[in-house]
Amino acid sequence: MRILVTGGAGFIGSHLIDRLMGQGHDVICLDNFYTGHKRNILKWMDHPYFELIRHDITEPIRLEVDQIYHLACPASPVHYQYNPVKTIKTNVMGTLNMLGLAKRVKARFLLASTSEVYGDPDVHPQPEEYRGNVNTIGIRSCYDEGKRVAETLAFDYHRQNNVDIRVARIFNTYGPRMLENDGRVVSNFIVQTLQNKPLTVYGDGLQTRSFCFVSDLVEGLMRLMNGSHLGPVNLGNPDEYTILELAQTIQGMINPDVDVKFEPLPQDDPRRRQPDITRAKAWLDWQPTIPLNEGLQLTIEDFRSRLGETSRPVSSAHV
């Protein structure tokens, strides 16, 4: 099968490409390298079934493919807030272009949406039926509302043009190949601890998140793409941890001597975030399998190799 992955040089996209290449598919990676990196896909560069195209999806492109995994968009606050207009153009114009491509070549289209469509939720955990509590004019809205519009476009293309769509709502995902400077809590804590810097906890640290290892997420995306349900489907780990618990766990695994410092909570930062994965279990027979400590160990070793920090082994602390 000929498969297009937009944002394929990014964190999740490159892990998806590894799986698709391993299954023998003909894979096209489309990326403008705004947050993606060639090192993530370097091992496939000379493979006869792999093709890399440097392209910005806000501009149209003509390709012949059977499936489209549409992952292209900066997904961490540091990057999507750096150029918010670019972020919303990627979500709206980029999704329009990819849906137009899917319509022309009759490809199945999977949208990588986000738990951010739920905003700062009033319902907990968040089921797909929940319509969200989003600030339309806040600093996160370029991403939150951009993804909500992308979902609208996907379902409108399905209803109006019979495009075969799938919509995944991705919750916090972590693992090897995360960017050192992406501003997400797992990478922030690991980098700060490896560099013997205080761990920055925003607010009182009692806000919660759920953390899904990247290999589990990729499995969910592929099951959704190749299944019969359109979605939306929550993909994430239902285990819930406070930010302070995560900080203390990473601190214990790398360097118990580093301090924790508290900073003011950013605007519109969600208080709680936990997926209801009832639908994923029923429709996809999917649920996460990698425990947090196991995933964190793999992630820490990846950061250690890139940052050159070798002085401390990873211990087996528990949340």
Enzyme catalytic residues: 143
Contacts of 71 (CB under 8 A, 6+ apart): 5, 6, 7, 8, 10, 12, 13, 16, 112
Residues in the chain, how many?
319
Distance CA 273, CA 115 (A): 8
3-state per-residue secondary structure call for the chain: CEEEEECCCCHHHHHHHHHHHHCCCEEEEEECCCCCCHHHCHHHCCCCCEEEEECCCCCCCCCCCCEEEECCCCCCHHHHHHCHHHHHHHHHHHHHHHHHHHHHHCCEEEEEEEHHHHECCCCCCECCCCCCECCCCCCCHHHHHHHHHHHHHHHHHHHHHCCCEEEEEECCEECCCCCCCCCCHHHHHHHHHHCCCCEEEECCCCCEECCEEHHHHHHHHHHHHCCCCCCCEEECCCCCEEHHHHHHHHHHHHCCCCCEEEECCCCCCCCCCCECCHHHHHHHCCCCCCCHHHHHHHHHHHHHHHHCCCCCCCCCCCC
